[in-house]
Amino acid sequence: MLRIAIQKSGRLQESSLQLLKESGLSFANGKDQLKTQVRNFPVEVLFLRDDDIPQYVEDRVADVGIVGENVWAEKQKNNDLVRRLDFAKCRLSIAVPRSETYTGIRSLQGKNIATSYPVIVQGFLNKHGVQAGIHEISGSVEIAPGIGLADAICDIVSTGSTLLSNGLKEVEVVMQSEAVLIATPGLAPEKKTILDQLLFRIEAVQSAKNNKYILLNCPNTSIEKITSVIPGMKSPTIMPLNREGWSSLHSVVNENDFWEKIGVLKSLGAEGILVIPIEKMIA
C-alpha cells in the first residue's frame, strides 16, 4: 500500500486529483475526508495542507506527496523530488514599489524583504552576496511595502496582476516552480514497485498531453521529407489514398512545436490535416 498526500483544498487540489484519476485511480473525492482508499490500485490518498506535506512525507505518514516546488524547496525536509508534474507553474520573485529605482541585486542591500519563503530568499541573497533583512509573514505579502512593513517582497507570481494592483514591479526571479511529486527516501521494495507503476502511468498521461495525433494527405513524392519533420514514435503509418500518387500519413506531433511544423507540412504539400488529442501514450 502506497500513501499519497495531496492538497486538501487550494490551487493544487484539482489538478492533483485529475492526474491521479487520469492515471486510472478510482476513488471518492470526499470533501470532508482526511483520507480515502483507491478502489482499483493499492493506494491510499491523504488530503492535507500543502505546507504540511513535506513533513508528513519525511515522517513517513505519507510515502509520496504532491506539492509546489517552492514549498518543497522552502521546507528542506528529507524528501526526494521524484518528478515534475507540469501544472501549477509559477515563479517566486522579488518585487519592489514601482516608484523605486532598481539597478540590480545590489539595490536590495540593507533593505527589508517580506516573504513567506525565508529559507529560499536567504539562499538567494547569500548566493549574490547581498545582506538584507528578511521579515517572515504568512499571507498578504504584497501589501507589506504599502503599509511600511518592508521595502520589498518575495512572493509567488503567476500573471503578475497582484503585483500590478499593489503598485509593485517584479525585479528578480528567484526560482521557477511547478507541482512536483516528492517521496520519502528509501521506500520499501513493495512501495517502490507501486510507485514505479504509478510513475509509468503518470508518464503516459503527461506524454499524451504533450503530443497530438496527426493525419494528413500528401503527394507520395513528399513522404520522405514529411517523415523527417514528423517522425512519430517509431515512424509514421502510410496508407495509399484511392487516388494515384497520394497517401494518407499518420504520426504524432509535439505540442511545443506544433504550429511551426504545421507550416512546414503545408509547404511540403500536405493537405486535409487533422489533429486529434491523445488520451494515453506509451512508448
Q: Which residues in this chain contact ligand PRT in the complex, by CB under 6 A?
A: 7, 10-12, 49-51, 68, 70-71, 88, 90, 155-162, 177
Give me the residue label for grid cell 495542507.
49
How far is it, in rounded angstroms, from Cα 27 to Cα 20? 9
**Which residues 47-76 are close enough to bind Zn ion by CB under 5 A?**
50-51
Using DSSP, state whether 58 is helix, strand or coil.
helix
**Minimum distance, C-beta of residue 228 to ligand PRT, in the bound complex (Å):** 38
**Minimum distance, C-beta of residue 12 to ligand PRT, in the bound complex (Å):** 5
- Nearest to Zn ion by Cβ — which residue? 51
Q: Choose from ligand PRT, Zn ion, none: what does 210 bind? Cβ within 5-8 Å by kind.
A: none
Task: State which residue, 90 or 150, has the beta carbon closest to ligand PRT.
Answer: 90
Compute the 3-state secondary structure of the chain and give helix, strand, coil in percent, each to the nearest 5.
Answer: 30, 30, 35
Task: State which residue, 22 or 170, has the beta carbon closest to ligand PRT.
Answer: 170
Residue 155 carries which side chain, given as an amino acid letter?
Answer: D
Cell numbers standing for residue 232? 512519430
**Minimum distance, C-beta of residue 116 to ligand PRT, in the bound complex (Å):** 8
Please, what sign has the CA dihedral across residues 60, 61, 66, 69?
negative
Q: Which residues contact 85 (CB under 8 A, 6 or more apart)?
A: 15, 19, 66, 178, 179, 180, 181, 202, 206
Q: Choose from ligand PRT, Zn ion, none: what does 158 bind? Cβ within 5-8 Å by kind.
A: ligand PRT
Task: State which residue, 158 or 228, has the beta carbon closest to ligand PRT.
Answer: 158
- Taking CA atoms, 98 is separated from 113, 157, 222, in Å, by 15, 16, 55
Task: State which residue, 16 or 184, has the beta carbon closest to ligand PRT.
Answer: 16
How far is it, in rounded angstroms, from Cα 259 to Cα 256? 8
How far is it, in rounded angstroms, from Cα 28 to Cα 209? 24
CB 251 within 8 Å of CB 231: yes
Give the count of residues interacting with Zn ion (CB under 5 A). 2
Bridge partners of 215?
250, 274
Mark 13-52 with x for binding to Zn ion (rule: CB under 5 A) and - for no binding: -------------------------------------xx-
Closest by Cα among 3, 65, 13, 8 to 32? 8
Q: Choose from ligand PRT, Zn ion, none: what does 11 bind? Cβ within 5-8 Å by kind.
A: ligand PRT
Task: State which residue, 22 or 51, has the beta carbon closest to Zn ion.
Answer: 51
- Nearest to ligand PRT by Cβ — which residue? 68
Task: State which residue, 174 or 262, has the beta carbon closest to ligand PRT.
Answer: 174
**Minimum distance, C-beta of residue 180 to ligand PRT, in the bound complex (Å):** 9
**Minimum distance, C-beta of residue 158 to ligand PRT, in the bound complex (Å):** 3
**Minimum distance, C-beta of residue 50 to ligand PRT, in the bound complex (Å):** 4
Q: Which residues contact 273 (CB under 8 A, 6 or more apart)?
A: 214, 215, 216, 262, 265, 266
Task: State which residue, 60 or 89, has the beta carbon closest to ligand PRT.
Answer: 89
**Which residues 172-211 are close enough to bind Zn ion by CB under 5 A?**
none
How far is it, in rounded angstroms, from Cα 224 to Cα 243? 19
Query: Where on the chain is the footprint of Zn ion (CB under 5 A)?
Result: 50-51
